[in-house]
Structure 1
Amino acid sequence: MRDFLKKALSLLCSAALTVTASGAFSASADWEHIGYMGDLNRDKDVTLADLVIMSRHLHGVEPLSNANSYHVKKSFIGIHGADGFQAGEYFVTADINQDGQVDVFDMIQLRKNIISHDNLWIWQWESEQNLPGDPLEDYGEFIGAPVDDVEKYLPSHGDAKLLIIYADFEDCKYEYNPSREDIERIAFGPEDESSNMYPFESATAFYARSSKGSMHLSGNAFPYTAKESVKNYHQVPGQKKLVTEALDELDAKVDFHDYDGDNDGFIDTVLLIVPKEAGDETWWPAAVPFSNDAYKYDGLQIGHMITGNCQINSATDYRDFTNTILHEMGHCMGLPDYYLYDVEGDHDGLHGTAGSEMMDDSGGDFSCVSKLQLGWYKKDQVMIFEPTEELNNYTLYNAQSERGNTLIIPCGELDDRYHCECIMLEYTTKDANNSSPPWYVQIGEGVRAYHADMTLHDNGWWVSYKYASGSEFTNNYNGRRFIRLINDYKGDNIFKPFDFLSYFTEGFAWYDENDEATKDVKMEIMVGNMDGESCTLTIQSKWE
């Protein structure tokens, strides 16, 4: 299965909808039947319910949206045996007579088809050959990146580009003013284990280690002084105002195509840094899609925007800058926050010596859940548990090394893009990206086990993780969540040699019909020896 592209098409809001396609293609095999023309509620059938949706659209009551189209991801489509063509990201099934418009004539044809049960079949080309170029077509020895299925603009594989605006104001200056070269060294410099900032010596080096070299972050920095007082750049509109002001200034000097790493028509990410003294109300670090196609630079829209007051304190003191932008760029690559929103007191989503995670406390390496979604495993490093009546033995390798791998225990059938409920295990150490955490983070060495539900949700506008922090579907975090730590408590909660995971281990259970973790996983896991390079697991399934 190929990926969803980065951004959903905007809602199709006119009663006469224009439909386009390009690139004819003819083939006789490897076509999959995916539905019918006129299937507006996407239930793989054509009924009166679809007629009602069409009527509401034509009367201007409720315009058709992507939710009424098939998400085909620019694949090849064939209709009722005719030669195929390459579709856009969404294929509009409402254009039943295929004249490029959705109008009353399509409604007439839809009514006839419902009466006669003579519907036009839609086929999708399933072969991996002769497909158009795709940012997720094949990463060689690496798995594809499931995170590409959500709205995001910064690639997690290959070349990823970051344009840095290091801004100040006439009435709000930095105490330390790094040069452009210093900013670029701190953001994009090579690995340097001798640095006092290691493993946060540069964002590029940190990502290269975590991704096993599959992602290469690069870019440029541009110091800039705002045209107005800091108070005139308030909240998100003010942030966007400053970004566009600075990019307008750079327009004559910069080829913005240099910052579109995956050639998707978007500047991957713009990072706007301001002085700490600018305050937290507007400038607390955050990453958001820019979401305004009125601004284009060399024909490119802005993908993600990161803003923050995480300044560089000196040439040898910039940990806050690096680990903050590492976390925020995780969002630009598609990952959600793992800490909890809008709760009193403890906001941590993961606790104890097993709880450090870049998307939670910004204190250490990415976990196996993050690396799986980002596609940072080689194909032979993702082990899938298959229950047998015999003991099952697995070897986990140091997660902070090139050999780092993971074991996935699926709940039922495993989704081929890993967008499902599962348990994941890894052997984490204090090496590399975990070697020097911030003072507020404790990292243990041993096996970490996560209960994850990486299911997607398509709201008709964009695709996101259904159970991410802040989602309406988590029951205030008492139900399903994107990620939970098994054995989650404040303290030394990492699994060590001869520890067991069983029904009596806190959090070691599947979600039930009420989205509570109560269902028996029906297995026991024993952690075996660990030597810094590898760790063994023995799993015994329980049979009725």
Structure 2
Amino acid sequence: MNKRAISALAAASMCLSSVLLPLNTAAPAEFSASAVSISDFPEEYQYAADWIWTNRIEREKSTERRNTIFDQIDAGKGTINYVVKWQSYRTVTYEQRQQFEKMLSDSINVWNDWLAGYDGWKYDHIDVKVVGWAVIDKSCLLDLHDDEIVYTDTRYYDAQYDTSNGRDTIPDKEPYAPLELSRFEHFTDSNYEYPGGLDKRFDMYMWATQGFPDIGGCGGDWGQRLSDTAYLNMIDGSGIHVLEHEIGHGFGMTDFYGGEGEADGFPPGGFPGGRNSIMMAGSAAEITDFDGWMLRYMWSKIKNDEGRFDLSTPEMSVSIKGDINADGIFNIADVVLLQNWLLARPDAVLADWKAADFCNDERLDVFDLCLMKRLLLTDEQPVQEEIPVHEEQQSNFITANMAKHGASLPTQGNAKMVVFYVDFPDCKYDYTPSTDELNSISFGAADDTDPCYPFESFSAFYGRASKGAMNLDGQVFRYTTKENQSVYDDNKVKIAEECYEAFRDKVDFSQFDGNGDGRIDATLFTVPEKAGTDHWWPCAGAFGDPNYRVDGMSIGHIITGNAQIGSTADHINYTSSYCHELGHCTGLPDYYLFTNPNDSEGMHGTAGIELMDTDAGSDFGAFSKLIEGWYREDQVQIYDASNGTQTFTLNNAQTDSGNCIIIPNGRLADDYFSEFFIVEYATKDGNNSGIGTKTAWWAKSGEGVRIYHIDAATEYGWNTYFRYASGSEFTNQDKGRRLIRVIDDVEKDNLYHTGDVINGSISGFRWYDSNGGQTVETGLTITIGELKDGKYAVTIG
């Protein structure tokens, strides 16, 4: 990485917006399919859906058996019951067992949200329960409660045809629940009566097998089978798309293992919508819009099968407002229950969540709790207008879309990092901090009084950059190699595996897999500065030995470099350099120019300051934060040309309330991988406060509105990557299309301020033509309005 010189400036305060109590997602968030029918099917999806139905689903008869999850939900009157088949000797805590139920509920309902209200589907939310555990060793269930049902019957299991993870032996015993309770065994008999009634049956198994592969599994109308460790890692929601994929098979959806138009392949022309399909393993990390519409399409195809479904309108039950425990009376017990549920306490279960939805927004939050308390105290039904203003209410973070780019370091939720602070027998550090100091420098808490702020630690910097979406943590290990430096200069796999082997018996490295994908999220191997730059210039990339495992984990992205710590008060080069490299671990490419040795800087001027360019001392820009999932839903504003002239408000990008405006060229792709302009208001606060006074024009200004031109088209091979990333074969030596530019890309103050007008006369404010030139008129004018209360007004039209 070609870095500019950087220097720490005086600390600047962060503007923090209020934070709500954590929202438990057991209740459905919102229903997107209300009053939708097959007549609303998107025209651009029709050909692919027809092809899949005719060539895959109908030919393979995957919906013919009347035990799909469609059938199970309807027969269960909006419920699904699971038995956990724990074919493992690993222990499971009581809390983990409760979390499994929530995980299954979330995964079923993320599919059902596409069906709710659609074409006669009458179930807004599916009540998913774990009604028993089938185990090979009852002692594996720690802290067993009296109300838990456990089955201990087993039969011989022959694993010779199973694929193993290569570490554990697959048990030769298979536990099972009573066959008389299994819907799978009796669905063909419409008159069958389950012992104890319908509530006692189970529809599917959640089958967890010790020794099963870490990634992948199988699924059908009988349930979903994954490894025990995969299920345990999914409890926090990480890697949940693998389970959602297998549940898709339960609905009758097919895999797409073959090529384009092949018998076991995908539709000619690929999947419309630009986001592939969760059913094409490895191509999508979530249910795509096409998947959702395909599910609806399948329902419309089978719903009228004679005698198959009950399409009558369900009777509406009358609930008492506030009575969420459904005991027939609203009192203080309901208030306490909702409060505990909002705090995500595992024993807080809502029998009737809608009774607490005082805001009538299909979600529960602290505002519903406030109105519930008011009703209890005054016995007067509060009205919706009394809800606090939206400005104080935070929405959810947008989807992070970099997983498909091979990213190993998650950008939302828990992200884990291992650091090996390494030297050689013949190349030692001049200054060696203690292990405690190393951990504090790497993963210490945010501290704006630290002389190295905003690079006081990796954790603090990424916490601010992500607006709290990403919780980066880890551990540092001090190590001296067995051999001299030259042995490792061109063999980074050797130093990596030697470091891991040195601590294998002392550390459980599986704790550093934050997203449950079977990989250690990121590993840094940093060496003394005097090791030189020929072999140890900071860089990041995929690990070179895909077969290596430590504690069952493969190694995700690794970073190597010689950015050492000068002292506990002088570590800015260490943290700032590796903050850039950590960006690569999340899937971001370099923004600087590989192919121009005379000027490798990708973006110039004050508007061009960006961590993934040559600016190690700065924050991420709007595009990086967009695809990393570091905006909340209400912070992404999209210009719609059909609505004429529109005025937007831009908040300070270096705060939690920082937002952006997207101006799409035609249709904006759902995952943002298309061509658009993105606008933000950049300041020298927060993570940008470390930028030095590199020229007079930055010292004078350095704050204002900047506009990026993005062309985020993607290519698909063994991995997905940005087609126009710097250095790729498609960028015409960086002269044609590029992933990212700033408009008016000159070495000056090219930020915009009150009164500035941006139109076709501004260099770079045009769309790309077919030859990669920025020549196509946008027909738009952007006017920068008043800066008031730290916010810019921006008018587009």
**What TM-score range do you get, normalising by the shorter chain?**
0.7 to 0.9
Instruction: Give the corresponding residue for 2:686.
Output: 432
User: 1:444 matched to which residue of 2?
Assistant: 702
Distance in 2 separating the partners of 1:324 and 1:148: 23
Note if contact 2:540-2:558 (Cα within 8 Å) is conserved in structure 1. yes
Match of 1:27 among 48, 70, 78: 70
Partner of 1:385: 639
Change (3 A) 1:374 1:76: closer
Where do residues 218-297 of structure 1 align in structure 2 (5 Å cutoff)?
218-235=473-490, 238-297=491-550
Residue 400 of structure 1 is matched in structure 2 by 654
Percent sequence identity is 40
In structure 1, what is the Cα distance between the partners aligned to 2:447 and 2:756? 36
Tell me the distance in 2 between the aligned counterparts of 1:205 and 1:128. Answer: 42
Q: Provide the C-alpha distance between the structure 2 equivalents of 1:128 and 1:498, rounded to a whole number of angstroms.
A: 49
Give the match for residue 501 of structure 1: 758
**Aligned position for 1:474:** 731
Per-residue CA deviation, residues 445-486 of structure 1 (Å, 9 max, x unaligned), is 000000001111102x11111111111010111111110001
Question: CA shift at 1:291, angstroms?
Answer: 4.0
How far apart are residue 92 of structure 1 and its match? Answer: 3.6
Deviation at 1:26, TM superposition (A): 3.1
What residue in structure 1 maps to residue 622 of structure 2? 368
Distance in structure 2 (CA, Å) of the matches to 1:326 and 1:338? 15
* 2:488 partner letter: Y
CA distance in 1, matches of 2:502, 2:431: 23
- Displacement of 1:372: 0.2
Which letter maps to 1:482? L
Which residues of 2 match residues 7-156 of structure 1 at below 5 A?
A: 25-27=68-70, 74=242, 76=245, 84=251, 91-92=257-258, 126=292, 141-156=396-411
Whole-angstrom CA distance in 1 between matches of 2:665 and 2:291: 30
Q: Is the 8 A contact 1:77 1:87 kept in 2?
A: no
CA displacement at 1:76 relative to structure 2? 4.3
The residue number in structure 2 matching 1:6 is: none
User: Which position in structure 2 is the counterpart of 1:411?
Assistant: 665
Indicate the residue corresponding to 1:11 in structure 2.
none
Q: 2:493·2:545 contact (CA, 8 Å) conserved in 1?
A: no
SS of 1:223's partner is: strand
AA at the equivalent of 2:292? E
Q: CA deviation at 1:436?
A: 2.4
Structure 1 residues 245 and 85 mapped into 2: Cα distance closer, same or farther (>3 Å)?
Answer: farther
User: Residues of 1 paired with 2:424 and 2:68: CA distance?
Assistant: 56
Aligned with 2:776 (options 505, 509, 519)? 519
1 CA distance for matches of 2:397 and 2:759?
32
- The answer to whether the Cα contact below 8 Å between 1:429 and 1:445 also exists between their aligned partners in 2 is yes
- C-alpha offsets along residues 185-221 of structure 1, whole Å, 9 cap, x if unaligned? 1111111111111111111111111111010110000
Note closer, same or farther for the CA distance 1:252–1:351 as it changes in structure 2 (3 Å cut). Answer: same
Conserved 8 A contact 2:595-2:734? no
Partner AA of 1:203 in structure 2? F
Q: Distance in 2 between matches of 1:250 and 1:184?
A: 16
Instruction: Measure the CA separation in 2 of the matches of 1:282 and 1:432.
Output: 33
Given that residues 396 and 536 in structure 1 are in contact (C-alpha distance below 8 angstroms), is that contact kept between their aligned partners in structure 2?
yes
| Closer/same/farther in 2, CA of residues 78 and 353 from structure 1, 3 Å limit | closer
Q: Distance in 1 between matches of 2:413 and 2:250?
A: 34
Q: Which amino acid aligns with 1:471?
A: S
> Match of 1:484?
741
Aligned to 2:449: 194
Report the RMSD for the aligned CA atoms in angstroms: 3.0
Does the 8 Å CA contact 1:495/1:527 hold for their aligned counterparts? Answer: yes
Q: TM-score, normalized by length of structure 1?
A: 0.76
Distance 1:187 1:279 in 2: 22
Shift of 1:179: 1.1
Structure 2 unaligned spans of 5+: 1-31, 33-61, 72-111, 116-240, 266-279, 281-286, 296-393
Residues 532 and 197 of structure 1: is their aligned pair in 2 closer, same or farther, counting only changes over 3 Å?
farther
Give the one of 568, 573, 585 matched to 1:332. 585
Partners of 2:654 and 2:685 within 8 A in 1: yes
Which digits, 9 at most, give the CA deviation of each residue in 1:468-505, with x for residues without a partner?
Answer: 11110101111111100011100111111111110000
**How many residue pairs are counted as aligned between the two chains?**
443
Bigger mean CA deviation after superposition, 357-366 or 160-169? 357-366
Query: Aligned-pair distance for 1:77?
Result: 7.8
| Matching residue of 2:571 | 318
Counterpart of 1:162 in structure 2 is 417
Q: Does 1:422 align with 2:676?
A: yes
Higher strand residue share: 1
TM-score of the pair, normalised by structure 2: 0.53
Q: CA–CA distance in 1 between the matches of 2:451 and 2:690?
A: 10
Counterpart in the other structure of 2:712: 454
The worse-fitting range, judged by mean Cα deviation, of 305-314 and 178-187 is 178-187
For residues 294-314 of structure 1, the C-alpha deviation after alignment (integer angstroms, 9 at most, x for no partner) is 210011100000000000011
The 1-side partners of 2:294 and 2:260 are apart by 28
Q: In the superposition, relative to structure 1, how do residues 255 and 77 fare at CA in structure 2: closer, same or farther (>3 Å)?
A: closer
- C-alpha spacing 1:25/1:292, structure 2 compared with 1 (3 Å): farther
CA drift of 1:344 comes to 2.4
Whole-angstrom CA distance in 2 between matches of 1:464 and 1:293: 19
- 1:331-352 per-position Cα deviation (integer Å, ceiling 9, x unaligned): 0000010111031211110111
The AA in structure 2 aligned to 1:144 is: T
SS at match of 2:580: helix
Query: Matched residues in 2 for 1:416 and 1:284: separation?
Result: 37
Residue type matched to 1:446 in 2? G
Give me the whole-angstrom Cα distance separating, in 1, the residues matched to 2:704 and 2:263: 61
Quote the Cα distance in structure 2 between the aligned partners of 1:457 and 1:96.
21
Give, in whole Å, the separation in 2 of the partners of 1:466 and 1:97. Answer: 29
- The amino acid of 1:405's aligned partner reads N
